[in-house]
Amino acid sequence: MNGKQRLLAALAGERPDRVPFAPNIWQWFHVNDYNGTLPAAIGDDASPVEVLRGMGADIFSKFDGLVALATYRDCTLTVEYSGGLPGGRGPWASFTTFDKGLIRKERLETPVGVLTHTWEYRAESGAPFEAEHWWKDFDRDYPAVRFWMENTEWHLDAGALRAGLENVGEDGLIIFQLMPSPLKQFHWLAGQTAATYFITDHPREMQALAKLHEQKSLEYLEEVVDQNDVWVFEVPDNLDTYFYPPAWFRAYCLPTLRKAADMVHARKKYFFVHACGKLKALAPQFMEARLDCVEGQAPPPLGDWPLAEARALDERLIICGGMAAPEQELTGPGTAERLDAYVRGLFGSLGDKRRFVFGSSCNTSPRTPYENLLAFRDASWKYGKV
């Protein structure tokens, strides 16, 4: 089987020739490329996809599925940069760009107010952080936030989608990125802390904004769901009960997810949500939402929901994850043997291993030795007969 055939068989609950091995190495690659620390063994490979091809992995690419274009009616967005660029070029980040500096300041002017926002790329972590959120004061900023949400439209960048599909080819699938859930959108706008206060203190207004965001999200999904050769659609949240308590998941995520899942399933395609942490308390609602997969699931100790328990919840649930940072970053004598034993135990806990994709838990740490990726691959191939 090629990567595309293997992943499609795994998602459908059929028996591929082996468990797909599909690590998410995009941040790992770009951080090491930016810092000049890519391993010599990679050679001149110019992209994460080429590195994955070189190691014989199955490609499951969400970054080739970032193909939405936003348009703003009666709003003006300006961007300014500051901070030096070592080597004269900006780092890669999945959330935004740093073309001209490590500090990105954004300003959105609306007829009812001005919003500002700041990203900072921090080299020590290899990731961007929001130093300033758009929505700081509920009463002052609410009119501008609502106007922005009402007057934003999302449409498909067809050229970007074609390029993504061509980049992955027959070696795998893209994971088409949709709009976040309403709760995640509040986190992006205000940060988790302020969003929590806003939901608590202003439930009527926040529910109205949630319905507005749901409408925009489903309109975009309706536009893209019938695209040829796109089989997996993902809501790019960060599911974790620390920030998604069950009551708020039910109020601000579940209604939108169920409607989106029905649209995707009507086309016999797959509906994912990205996960980053503790999940067990939310598990019953995953089934209510008719999710096919919580992608990037981390086993303990970073997560609290072992992959075998997720498998036992419902036989139709696709399990995608298992490669978490504590194992990724192992070093020292006997590392390959320890990773072999880890994979053997994990795979053995899952029974016949159908509907299982062995992938990264959220992503691959930039501190992961390249040899560990190869050890994961070798163990996956060794124990991955379905």
- Distance from C-alpha of 103 to C-alpha of 329, rounded to nearest angstrom: 29
Cis peptide before 39 (omega within 30 of 0): no
Enumerate residues 6+ apart whose C-beta is below 8 A from 204.
none
Contacts of 178 (CB under 8 A, 6+ apart): 217, 220, 221, 224, 233, 234, 235, 236, 260
Task: Please tell me the distance from the alpha carbon of residue 62 to that of residue 366, in angstroms, as a whole number.
Answer: 18
pLDDT at 89: 77
What is the 3-state composition of the chain as percent helix, strand, coil, each rounded to the nearest 5? 45, 20, 35
Separation CA 306–CA 27 (nearest Å) = 25
* DSSP tag of 136: -
Q: pLDDT tens string for the chain (386 positions)?
A: 999 999 999 999 999 999 999 999 999 999 999 988 999 988 777 899 999 999 999 999 999 999 999 999 999 999 999 998 877 778 999 889 998 999 999 999 999 999 999 999 998 888 999 999 999 999 999 999 999 999 999 999 999 999 999 999 999 999 999 999 999 999 999 999 999 999 999 999 999 999 999 999 999 999 999 999 999 999 999 999 999 999 999 999 999 999 999 999 999 999 999 998 999 999 999 999 999 999 999 999 999 999 999 999 998 999 999 999 999 999 999 999 999 999 999 999 999 899 999 999 999 999 999 999 999 999 999 999 99
User: What pLDDT, on the 0 to 100 scale, is given for residue 85?
Assistant: 87
For the record, the structure tokens of 160 come out as 């970007």
Say which residue the tokens 């009119």 belong to: 143
Q: Which helix (H) or strand (E) holds 278?
A: none
Q: Which CATH number is associated with domain 3-69+135-383?
A: 3.20.20.210
CA 365 from centre of chain: 14
Q: How do strand 113-122 and strand 127-132 relate by DSSP bridges? A: antiparallel
Q: How far is CA 221 from the centre of its chain?
A: 17
Q: Let me know: does 48 contact 27? Beta carbons within 8 Å.
A: no
pLDDT at 13: 97
Q: Where are the domains of the chain?
A: 3-69+135-383, 74-134
What does the chain come to in residues?
A: 386
Count CB-CB contacts under 10 A for residue 212: 16
Handedness of CA 162, 227, 52, 325 (dihedral sign): positive
Nearest-angstrom CA–CA distance, 296 and 100: 32
